[in-house]
Amino acid sequence: MENDSLADQIVKVANWVTAARGVVIFTGAGVSTESGIPDFRSPGGLWEKYDPDDFLYQKIISSEESRRKYWKMHSELYYTITQSDPNPAHFACVELDKMGKLDCLITQNIDNLHQKAGLPEEKILELHGNSMKVLCLSCGKQYRRDEIQEWLENGIEAPSCEECNGILKPATIAFGQAMPQRETEEAVEKSRNCELFIAMGSSLVVHPAALMPLYAKEGGARLVIINLTSTPYDDQADLIIRGKAGEVIFSIVERVKKEVGKDLSGTTD
């Protein structure tokens, strides 16, 4: 598996992509870091500056002080994300979709960069939410994140809903908050029914999202893991590629284009 050259590995995965009716892609924090967004857990990440225990869901909904800290942290994240651009990993997923090869993309990331790259919203299953959206926890009204950022910059430290005065929270999953039911159920179904599952840029340690590759294997799919470091499910993989997600998946997609006779001159840069 890992003894093959990188070129051989890329050809092998490209052949699997070409043969598969549909491919499920799973992306984690490693894809975001390639766009300059630090992993929360890595050196320089937000958990070095903030205590995650302050952001337990029960604290957020019960304490205005916790909400102020939460919004302060999310303001830092907002500026990091809005100053970041999609990278080759994001664009490769778009190219797979244009070729009719992408069944869906399951992501742990909350940075909206898959959408920014041009992947249709209906193809994306966000298991940990989206930081560019804000929801009222009482009435469900949705706000644009940039609108709420204006409120924060104007001195409102813990915003509340204009409609019902309910608590506003970024549409991301906080510690202790339930996973989104529709997205999780659909991700499980898509994983169990795919022919090829490619996990990239994820350490596969955050559950239940990290179970998706196992569901794919249980359903008979081939599993490819693209990551710089080892994961708990390497022994389940049909192929492991040690490398940067963007470089590897984009090379695979270029190879697939050659195999289906498409002109590479239109590749997104």
* Strands 129-136 and 142-144, sheet pairing: antiparallel
Residue predicted with more confidence, 269 or 149: 149
The CATH 3.40.50.1220 domain(s) of the chain lie at 1-37+86-128+179-269
Q: What is the share, in percent, of the chain residues with pLDDT greater than 70?
A: 92
Q: What is the pLDDT of residue 45?
A: 59
Intervals of CATH 3.30.1600.10 along the chain: 38-83+129-172
Catalytic (active site) residue 128? yes
Task: Look at phi and psi of residue 155 and say left if phi exceeds 0, alpha if psi is from -120 to 50, else beta.
Answer: left
Q: C-alpha distances in angstroms, 50 versus 66, 71, 95?
A: 11, 12, 37
What is the CATH topology of the domain spanning 1-37+86-128+179-269? Rossmann fold (3.40.50)
**Architecture in CATH of 38-83+129-172:** 2-Layer Sandwich (3.30)
Q: What is the pLDDT of residue 22?
A: 87
- Phi-psi category of residue 128: left, alpha or beta, with phi > 0 → left and psi -120 to 50 → alpha: alpha
CB contact at 8 A, 67 and 158 = yes
Report the C-alpha dihedral over residues 11, 16, 17, 21, rounded to 10 degrees.
160
Q: Give me the numbers of helices (H) and strands (E) for the chain, helices first please.
A: 10, 9
Give per-residue pLDDT as tens, 51-76: 777 889 999 999 999 999 999 999 99
The predicted-structure confidence for 193-209, as pLDDT tens digits, reads as follows 999 999 999 999 999 99
Q: Which secondary structure element, helix H or strand E, spans residue 7, and what is its range?
A: helix 6-19
Catalytic residue among 74, 90, 114, 128: 128
Of 3, 7, 1, the closest CA to residue 238 belongs to 1
| pTM flag (> 0.85) | yes
